[in-house]
A and B are shown apart, each in its own frame.
Chain A
Amino acid sequence: MLGFIVRRLLFLPFLWFAITFLTFLLLEPLGPYQRVALFMNVNPEQAFGGKLTKEQLQRLIEKYGLDQPAITQYIRWIKQVFQGNFGWSKVAQKPVFEAIRERLPATFELGLYAVLPVVLIAIWLGVLSAVHHNKPIDHSLRFFSITGYSLPTFVFGIFALMIFYGILGWFPPGRLSFWAERIVYDPTQFTRYTGLNTIDALLNHRWDIFVDALRHLVLPVLTLSYLSWAGLQRVTRSSMLETLRQDYITTARAKGLTERVVILKHGLRNALIPVTTIAVPTVIGLMLSGVVITETVFNYKGLGLLSVDATLQFDVPMVLGFTLIGTSLIVLTNLLVDILYVFIDPRVRYD
Chain B
Amino acid sequence: MKRSWPILGVMLTLATLTLLMTSCGQKSSPPPPPETATQLPETAPKPQEPQQPPETIPPAVTHPEEPQPPPVPPKPRPEVKNPDTYVVVGIGDFIDTLDPAAAYDTGSGSIIFNIYETLIFFDGPHPDKFVPWLATAVPSLENGLIRDDGRTYVFPIRQGVKFHYGPVKDANGNEIPGSGVLTPEDVEYSFERGMLQDRAGGPQWLLLEPLLGVSSILDLAKQVESELHGTDPSQIKSIDDVSPEGLQEVCRRVKATVEVEDGSAVFHLKEPFAPFLQILVGTWGSIVDKEWVMTEIKEINKKAGWDGSCDTWRKFYDPPTEESELFNITNGTGPYILERWRREEEISLKIYKDYWRERPAYLNVNIKFNREWATRLLMLQNGDADAVSILPRNRDQVYPLVEQGLVTMYKDLPDQCMSFWMPNQKVNPENNPYIGSGKLDGDGIPPDFFSDEDVRKGFAYAFDWDTYITEALEGDSVQAKTIMIKEVFGYNPDVPYYSLDLEKATEHFKRAWGGQVWEKGFKLFMPHVPGGSRVALDILKANLEKINPKFKLEALEFQGTQITQDFNNDKIPFDSSGWCQDYHDPHNWAYPLLGSTGYFGRFLDIEPELQKQLDDLILQARRELDPEKRKALYYQIEQINYDHALLIPIEQGVFKRFTRSWVKGFFWNMAYVGTYYWYLWKE
Tell me which residues across on chain A come within 8 A of B344, comparing CB atoms. 91-92, 301, 305-306, 309
B24/A208 in contact, CB under 8 A: yes
A-B contact pairs, 21 of them (CB 8 A): A31-B565, A33-B565, A37-B561, A41-B322, A45-B564, A47-B96, A49-B105, A51-B599, A57-B568, A91-B343, A93-B95, A93-B322, A121-B7, A162-B374, A166-B374, A169-B22, A170-B15, A212-B21, A215-B18, A215-B21, A305-B344
Given contacts A44-B564, A296-B372, is CB(A178)–CB(B599) below 8 Å? no
A49/B564 in contact, CB under 8 A: no
A299 within 8 A of B: yes
B4 within 8 A of A: yes
B25 within 8 A of A: yes
B340/A51 in contact, CB under 8 A: no
B3 within 8 A of A: yes
A92/B21 in contact, CB under 8 A: no
**How distant is the Cα of A80 from the Cα of B68 in the complex, in angstroms?**
60
B560/A43 in contact, CB under 8 A: yes
Q: Looking at the complex, which one of B105, B106, B375, B578 makes contact with A299 (CB distance below 8 Å)?
A: B375
Tell me which residues across on chain A come within 8 A of B87, comparing CB atoms. 178
Looking at chain A's contact residues, the main secondary structure is helix
A60 within 8 A of B: yes
Q: Looking at the complex, which one of B93, B104, B345, B372 makes contact with A49 (CB distance below 8 Å)?
A: B104
Tell me which residues across on chain A come within 8 A of B96, comparing CB atoms. 41-42, 47
Given contacts A59-B238, A93-B322, A166-B378, is CB(A50)–CB(B371) below 8 Å? no
A170/B320 in contact, CB under 8 A: no
Please name the residue on chain B nearest to A91 by beta carbon.
Answer: B344
Please name the residue on chain A nearest to B417 by beta carbon.
Answer: A49
A56/B559 in contact, CB under 8 A: no
Beyond the given pairs A42-B105, A57-B568, A178-B366, 7 more chain A to chain B contacts, judged by CB atoms under 8 angstroms and listed by A's residue number, are A33-B564, A37-B561, A42-B96, A91-B344, A165-B375, A165-B378, A215-B21
Would you list the 8 A-B pairs with minimal beta carbon distance, nearest first?
A45-B560, A54-B568, A33-B565, A34-B561, A170-B18, A299-B370, A41-B321, A59-B200
Q: How large is the interface on A (under 10, 10 to 19, 20 to 34, 35 or more residues)?
A: 35 or more
Query: Which residues from 122 to 139 on chain A have a C-beta closer than 8 Å to any C-beta of chain B?
Result: 128, 136-137
B200/A63 in contact, CB under 8 A: yes
**How distant is the Cα of A341 from the Cα of B97 in the complex, in angstroms?**
51
Q: Looking at the complex, which one of A33, A185, A215 makes contact with B340 (CB distance below 8 Å)?
A: A185
B384 within 8 A of A: yes
**How distant is the Cα of A170 from the Cα of B15 in the complex, in angstroms?**
9
A53/B24 in contact, CB under 8 A: no
B256 within 8 A of A: no
A172 within 8 A of B: yes
**How distant is the Cα of A161 from the Cα of B87 in the complex, in angstroms?**
21
B375/A60 in contact, CB under 8 A: no
Query: Which residues from 174 to 206 on chain A have a C-beta closer than 8 Å to any C-beta of chain B?
Result: 174, 177-179, 181, 185
Looking at the assembled complex, report how far the CB atom of B315 sits from the nearest CB atom of chain A, in whole angstroms: 15
A177/B561 in contact, CB under 8 A: no
B340/A161 in contact, CB under 8 A: no
A94/B378 in contact, CB under 8 A: no
B580 within 8 A of A: yes
Q: Looking at the complex, which one of B106, B201, B345 makes contact with A52 (CB distance below 8 Å)?
A: B201
Query: Which residues from 88 to 129 on chain A have a C-beta closer than 8 Å to any C-beta of chain B?
Result: 88, 91-94, 99, 102, 121, 128
A41/B345 in contact, CB under 8 A: no
